Amino acid sequence: MALENNGQFIDQSTIDRDLLEKIADLIGKPVGAFNIRKDSACDGRASTDHIKINDRPDKKGIEIHVADGTVGESCHIPVLITKSGVQEMVYNDFFIGENCDVKIVAGCGIHNGGKETSRHDGVHTFHVGAHSHVHYSEKHYGEGDGIGGRIMNPQTVVYLGEGASLTMETVQIAGIDSTVRDTKVVCGKGAEVVLTERLLTHGEQKAESRMEIVLDGEDSKGRVISRSVAKDKSSQVFYPNMIGNAQCFGHVQCDSIIMGEAHIQSVPAITANSTEAQLIHEAAIGKIAGDQLLKLETLGLSAEEAEDTILKGFLS
């Protein structure tokens, strides 16, 4: 049992279960390889014949080794913080062999029912072998009725070998007071990356996202898709940079909805260091269209229900 700020007791297992479902779509024990980190300690781990998970010998964190030719397997590595005042920095390294096709599910959930700030900073570094495909998803979520802050600062660095690809989806669901998100991907010959970020802020929350996609190899491709919603007095800043160093194609698309007294700044950049680089960027910020709300209201939805439906569709 856990004592919340309001003096009521909450079943700790219920907190864990709800957080795992929100950040990693887990109901029950994960299938395949997994490492569950809770309040700065390992709360469960399993390896498979093809995916090995070990503690890092030098820093807090883990190493994940995926054998050549591994196909159709998954690895879950969620992080839970359920105690007020927990603050940590974790380093996780992924070594993906050649000719693999695997799914990595990360994510962090903070339940803060106290007065102290809880914070998780993590650095994920991927080394993806030739002709391998990695689908990587990461969700962030905060809850709890305490006055302590909920802070997350994720950093992801990816090196894609020849013909490798990465599909990366990051989502900030709700409840994160402050976040600085850093992502860097370096693409080798014929490599491809698709980054999709969905971000929601409300209250007085602050979010900053920086992305750098380096298209180093010939015929490499990069795409960034950012969709965000800022409500109330929250603020967001987005800095994507697509860099073309060879014959390549890159596209950056940023779409945001602003509501209340929120502030959004989108600063997309494209940098061509080769005459054969083809780079495009688009950015749009606006409010919900009145005709969209009216159409849903004529179907029987209240104004609040219509707004919620539009936002869910935009961020899906």
Residue 308 lies in a domain: no
Among residues 63, 182, 180, 170, the alpha carbon closest in space to that of 127 is found at 63
φ/ψ of 265, rounded to 5, equals: -130, 125
Cβ-Cβ contacts under 8 Å for 252 (sequence gap 6 or more): 223, 224, 226, 240, 242, 268, 270, 280, 281, 282, 283
| Token duo for residue 273 | 């260091």
Largest CA distance in the chain: 65
| Token duo for residue 250 | 């890159």
In the predicted model, what is the mean pLDDT of the chain? 91
Residue 20 lies in a domain: yes
The predicted structure's pLDDT at residue 98: 98
Mean pLDDT of 11-27: 85
Calpha distance 265→233 (Å, rounded): 14
Residue 199 lies in a domain: yes
Q: What confidence category does residue 194 fall into, taking pLDDT thresholds of 50, 70 and 90?
A: very high
Residue 298 lies in a domain: no
Residue 195 lies in a domain: yes
Residue 261 lies in a domain: yes
The predicted structure's pLDDT at residue 12: 61
Residue 295 lies in a domain: no
Range of the domain at 96: 2-290
What is the amino acid identity at position 233? K
Mean pLDDT of 217-246: 96
Calpha distance 149→115 (Å, rounded): 8
Residue 59 lies in a domain: yes
pLDDT value at 264 more than 90: yes
Residues in the chain: 316
What is the amino acid identity at position 197? E
The predicted structure's pLDDT at residue 10: 44
230 and 236 in contact (C-beta within 8 Å)? yes
Q: What confidence category does residue 3 fall into, taking pLDDT thresholds of 50, 70 and 90?
A: very low
Q: What confidence category does residue 45 fall into, taking pLDDT thresholds of 50, 70 and 90?
A: very high
Among residues 105, 106, 99, 156, the alpha carbon closest in space to that of 128 is found at 99
How many domains does the structure of the chain reveal?
Answer: 1
The predicted structure's pLDDT at residue 302: 82
